[in-house]
Amino acid sequence: MKPFSFYLGTRVFFGRNCLQENQEQLLKLGNKALIVTGRTSGKSSGALDDVIASLNNQQINYIIYDAIENNPTLENIKRAVGQAMPFQPQFVIAIGGGSPLDAAKAIAVLLTNEIDPLELFQNQFSNPPLPIAAIPTTAGTGSEVTHYSILTRKDLQTKMSFGNDMTFPRIAFVDPAYTASMPYEVAVDTALDALSHAIEGYLSKRSTLVGDILALEAIKLFGECVSFLQSRNLDYQTREKLLYLSTLAGMVITQSGTTLVHGLGYSLTYFKDLPHGRANGLLLHEYLKYNYSHSAEKINNILKALLISDIDTFGQVIEVLLPNGLVLSDDEIEQFANLAITQKNTQSNLKPVSIEDLKQILRDSQRPPK
């Protein structure tokens, strides 16, 4: 058997009302909380109101920072830290999609370590970060159970992650009801991010035996949700499955990381302003085609779990979900491939990858809007 190590630093509570039913957990983290969220996700999901009620019940003081941007930048993190510092919070409650959750991890480190945000990427902090309770409102990133914080590096024109065993959220309250307010496009994009995590984690050089079980289960659950996603019929049961699979897929990438889809996808987000999950989703079909010669058995397992007969049918499923397609110039293809080859995750792909391969994947992933 392939040797492996498996670590998860987060206690997960999953299910409807899991925050209300376990609110005493918050008091274990301290009695002064910094709530970190985006402009709309905390409020429209209902999670912010529930958190405030739980904090009031337990007489925990709090302040709210609700200006985390999508794909947060180091400047955005710095502003949040500056505003929170005088309050001297003892823990952080992160509410939102991956953007606020990842931002909270950076903020939690910077509130206990007087370092420049750029130093986060060295992954060594003298002091442990503030503990975090994470509450996802999208079903995609799995950030509630990963140690990764993915931030936008304007200096390098890409996104970059940091994280170590100390940056796992201490607790995750994973309640499907908080994803009900997601706009349909966000639901699709984030579901494709989760699928991407499961598939890439499974096709990574760093895949693990335990992670593979979680990945195939997550992929199977995605298969069960596809027709509901396509018909825009996202009832509670489907949202529950989508959130569960995204948390499972987060556990997968915590062990094995992502691969070239994320490596290339960062440029589609940075330069083309495509949401993170959509960027990945647009590349998945060609990614499977590219890897098939090297990893046929694993890719057949993926298709079987999805109940999809072949890779081209998979491509058609994605086309229905992402009708707007992708168009790139030759210069963009050149630039994005050159950036992606330097990404660690690209190098984790099971099949060895060259710049030429990346360019071909980008070329072949193009399709005009429907």
Q: What is the binding site for ligand NAP (CB under 6 A)?
A: 38-41, 44-45, 70-71, 96-100, 102, 137-138, 140-143, 146, 148, 150, 159, 178-179, 181-182, 186, 190, 193, 276-277
Query: Taking the complex as a whole, how short is the minimal distance between the CB of residue 258 and ligand NAP, in angstroms?
Result: 8
151: buried, middle or exposed (CB in 10 Å: 19+, 13-18, 0-12)?
buried
Residue position matching structure tokens 């596809």: 226
**148 binds, options Fe ion, ligand NAP, none, Cβ within 5 to 8 A by partner type:** ligand NAP
The nearest distance, CB 31 to ligand NAP, in angstroms, is: 26
Q: Which residue is nearest to Fe ion (CB)?
A: 193
Closest CA to 60 of 100, 90, 80, 96: 90
Nearer to ligand NAP, 63 or 67 (CB): 67
Q: Which of residues 161-220 bind Fe ion (CB under 5 A)?
A: 193
Counting every residue written for the chain, the total comes to: 370
> Nearer to ligand NAP by C-beta: 179 or 311?
179
Binding partner of 99, given ligand NAP, Fe ion, none, CB within 5-8 angstroms per partner class = ligand NAP
- For residue 255, the minimal CB distance to ligand NAP (Å) is 12
How many beta carbons lie within 10 A of that of residue 5, not counting itself?
A: 7
Write down the least CB distance from residue 161 to Fe ion, Å: 10
The CB density around residue 183, as the number of other CB atoms within 10 Å, is 10
- Give 189 or 193: the residue with its C-beta nearer to Fe ion: 193
Contacted by 45, from Fe ion, ligand NAP, none: CB < 5 to 8 Å by type:
ligand NAP
Q: Which is nearer to Fe ion, 246 or 291 (CB)?
A: 246
- Alpha carbon distance 139, 12 (integer Å): 15
Q: Is the dihedral of CA 108, 114, 117, 121 positive or negative?
A: negative
Q: Which long-range contacts (CB under 8 A, 24 or more apart) does 328-335 make?
A: 328/272, 328/362, 328/363, 328/366, 332/267, 332/271, 332/272, 332/362, 333/359, 333/362, 333/363, 334/359, 335/267, 335/271
CB distance 321 to 361 below 8 Å: no
Please check whether residue 118 is in contact with residue 162, taking contact to mean a CB–CB distance below 8 angstroms: no
Measured from the CB of residue 103, what is the shortest distance to ligand NAP in angstroms?
9
CB 85 → Fe ion: shortest distance, Å? 30
**What is d(CA 37, CA 103) in angstroms, rounded to the nearest whole number?**
9
- Provide the minimum distance between the beta carbon of 146 and ligand NAP in the complex, in angstroms, as a whole number: 4
Q: Which does 70 bind (CB under 5 to 8 A by kind): ligand NAP, Fe ion, none?
A: ligand NAP
Q: Write out the two tokens for 272.
A: 């083309």
255: partner contacted, choices Fe ion, ligand NAP, none (Cβ within 5-8 A by kind) = none
Nearer to ligand NAP, 159 or 298 (CB): 159
Question: Of 138 and 238, which CB lies nearer to ligand NAP in the complex structure?
Answer: 138
Q: Which is nearer to ligand NAP, 129 or 277 (CB)?
A: 277
Q: Where on the chain is the footprint of Fe ion (CB under 5 A)?
A: 193
